[in-house]
Structure 1
Amino acid sequence: MRGPGPQASVVLPAVPGLGGLYGRGVTASGRLALGRRLGRAPRTLPDVAYVVAGAQADPEHLTAYQHLLGESASDVLPAGFTHVLAFPVATAVMVRHDFPLPLLGMVHLANRVEQLRPILLGDRLDIRAWAQGLASHRSGTQIELVTEVRIAGAGDDVLGGELAWRGTSTYLAKGARLGGPAADGASEDTATDDGRREPFVPPVPTGRWRLASDAGRRYAAVSGDRNPIHLSKLSAKALGFPRAIAHGMYTASRALADVGAGRGDAFTWTVEFAKPVLLPGTVDVRVAPDGVGGFAYAGWNGRSGKPHLTGAVTPL
């Protein structure tokens, strides 16, 4: 069962290493820049999905993630950790020669995860990822990366197992102009409110996160996501940011950890990112029941009142 997305698949021998992928991303960015000057850069998405069969979580990796994010010790994989496991497969799609946007400097706008059943340490996982939703954005071009994780079935039937997790990540390639349809009400984490949303009013906080200057490097160590915008002031400035910024999935995953066991075994987890969290930084946070059976969360700058992220966790 292939499900939605492209029907053509490329089967990878294993989950690729993000270090090598980012190296390819540097090369691809240069190639795209040259191709645009010559009018030869790709303008459409590759109609292919990447697949890895039988991937498994490493116990030490899981423990390091749980410690950093504040998740309880358990053999159940947190939904954010599953994102970490599957992210390199999606990244491999983004460094293909026919992918039209540069990987480096890409900004995370939003994320939606459907956790359909628990995934346990020791489960063999089939991962499938593809790109969709190429659209114009007021600051560039946005794209969706979709990843599905299934519990591996018996025998050699890749992707024939039960769907356990699906994630859709929306990214912005700042300054990249490809044309095409405009995104509907897209936000970005460097933009002010554009009038199409309710103004954010800071609620009563339930906590505060104090993020050190190395928060990006620490999350990179457990996620493998070493995008330069997260690692140091110098590398972030080269890509247009005044200082290193926290990973969006780090802040969203901390909020999910704060929800705790109340999320249940099956849930949807959504987040929209607004202003980036500059490192070091302090984030006021509210994580609380939403009154209809789920949880709402928000993180914002306590001085300016500007939001960093908002989201919800809704049991299925």
Structure 2
Amino acid sequence: MPGPRTLAADPGSVTTLLRAALPAVPGLNLLPGVRKAPAEGFGGLTWDRPGAVVERAHVEQYAAVCGFPRRDVVPVTYPHMLAFPLHMAVMSDPAFPWAALGMVHVENTITAHRDVAVGERLDVRVSVGAARPHDKGVLLDFDTTVRAAGEPVWESRSTYLRRGSTVDGVPAPGLVIPHQPTGGTQWRLPADLGRTYAGVSGDANPIHLYPLTARALGFRRQIAHGMWTLARSVAAIENRLPEAVTVEAVFRKPVFLPSTVAYAARRDDDTWTFALTNPQDDSPHLVGRAVPAGAAGAAGSAGGA
């Protein structure tokens, strides 16, 4: 694995989108600096973002879009905003064999070790290892560690599916969350939700923006960001979660915009299970759970950087 690369600053959503798109453009994808390395022999990449400051204005924008209250500590899902530019840096790196467009976010695990305060200065590291086998392609685990003064305060694993490619091995079982709750509260999601969240997150993937841009990539119309569906689901119960918590989620079906979804949550001892479903047939868009960090049955620390 090559040594860590460093991202000096957030490049912005337009630059991020261009870097992600170029490897998918015939002809341009052969240019030096754009051309992707072969998948065979890929051992992993690490990118660092030192000294990222948690800005109050951005936290409040994120909280408003995702349904969290205004507080002096960040929502438990917020540090993903600091890691996302590094996810894109990895995916856009010529040493990463797969183009960013076409990567499908299928699972996510977050472990918060303590609250992160607005104004803290944090060091963020994202590492991805060798691809794992999957029935429909390969899986790539993006492990994030966020440190304050050298101590880990937040970790996550975002697992992406890349269809088509293959690697040797037997696919491991994915995250299974039994006893999905159904029914509950219905939320009406507007057509511009993807554009609103993109403006806060920097994730301007065309599948989230407009019907035309989504259809160009195989969707009948734009879809909500998976991390918005997770954040909104956690926001509904965050005031009942411990400070040190592990949140796991499986993304099942896309949420087309505009649409109506149903949200339900259930508590069993120290475990909260929640789901975002289609209210017409209870089919899940997202199923997740939250447990105290380190509790039996939790995924535990997801990062490994």
Distance 1:201 1:172 in 2: 25
Number of the residue aligned with 1:267 = 245
Number of the residue aligned with 1:180 = 168
The normalised TM-score by structure 1 is 0.84
Deviation, structure 1 residue 98: 1.4
Structure 1 position 235 matched with structure 2 position 232: no
> Residue 212 and residue 39 in structure 1: after superposition, are their counterparts in 2 closer, same or farther (change >3 A)?
closer
Number of the residue aligned with 2:289 = 312
What are the superposed Cα offsets for residues 280-301 of structure 1, whole Å, 9 maximum, x if unpaired? Answer: 1111110221x12121101111
Distance 2:193 2:60 in 1: 17
Q: Paired residues, what number?
A: 289
Distance 1:32 1:115 in 2: 43
The normalised TM-score by structure 2 is 0.87
Match of 1:9 among 1, 4, 17: 4
Distance 2:145 2:185 in 1: 33
CA RMSD in angstroms comes to 2.5
Q: Give the secondary structure class of the aligned counterpart of 1:102.
A: coil
Number of the residue aligned with 1:278 = 256
CA contact (8 A) 1:93 1:99 kept: yes
1:55-94 matches, cutoff 5 A: 55-94=52-91
Residue type matched to 2:16 in 1?
L
> Residue 43 and residue 24 in structure 1: after superposition, are their counterparts in 2 closer, same or farther (change >3 A)?
farther
Structure 1 position 124 matched with structure 2 position 121: yes
Deviation, structure 1 residue 106: 1.7
Number of the residue aligned with 1:105 = 102
Match of 1:22 among 9, 17, 21: 17
Residue type matched to 1:11 in 2?
T
Number of the residue aligned with 1:158 = none
Q: Give the secondary structure class of the aligned counterpart of 1:252.
A: helix
Deviation, structure 1 residue 135: 2.2
Where in structure 1 are there 5+ consecutive unaligned residues? 1-5, 154-160, 188-196
270-279 or 57-66: which moved more?
57-66
Distance 1:231 1:185 in 2: 32
Match of 1:220 among 192, 198, 207: 198
Deviation, structure 1 residue 184: 1.6
What are the superposed Cα offsets for residues 130-178 of structure 1, whole Å, 9 maximum, x if unpaired? Answer: 1125123233322111111001x2xxxxxxx11001110011123x314
CA contact (8 A) 2:213 2:222 kept: yes
Q: Give the secondary structure class of the aligned counterpart of 1:222.
A: helix
Distance 2:37 2:125 in 1: 29
Distance 1:58 1:262 in 2: 25
Structure 1 vs Structure 2: percent identity of aligned residues? 34
Distance 2:37 2:78 in 1: 38
Structure 1 position 303 matched with structure 2 position 280: yes
